[in-house]
Structure 1
């Protein structure tokens, strides 16, 4: 993925792995839950902004992963 980005390509990844999310330029978090309880954009921004906001489950889990 890094080689694609370094060569100027855009990469869109659908992933829950915290290491991938922490390395992303931008996160679009859908939720607030799964299935019928989800599907809405509940956050859009950088991983640092998501960790600082901690307004979603993804933000809480990512904050724990990065140790803040």
Structure 2
């Protein structure tokens, strides 16, 4: 559940796949570190959620 992962202090991502193709530590660290790791399938999906949660920067308008 990505909503749980994005609020975690530390994440350990096992993979790269399930079953006999998994069981290796692919990435570990903060959710942001996982999102920045291209080897992490979880991180790729997490990056989209973390980017969507960032506040949009407001532009200052010049007075006319």
What TM-score do you get using the length of structure 1 for normalisation? 0.69
Q: Where do residues 3-22 of structure 1 align in structure 2 (5 Å cutoff)?
A: 17-22=1-6
**Higher Rg of the two aligned structures:** 2
Query: 2:27 touches 2:37 (CA, 8 Å); kept in 1?
Result: no
Is 1:58 paired with 2:45? no
Aligned residue pair count: 52
Which aligned segments of 4 or more residues in structure 1 are displaced greater than 2 angstroms?
none
1:33 is paired with a residue whose SS is coil
Q: Which sections of structure 1, spanning at least 5 residues, go unmatched? A: 1-16
Q: What is residue 23 of structure 1 aligned with on the other side?
A: 7
**TM-score normalized by structure 2?**
0.73
CA contact (8 A) 1:54 1:63 kept: no
Provide the aligned C-alpha RMSD in A. Answer: 1.3
Which one has the bigger helix percentage?
Answer: 1
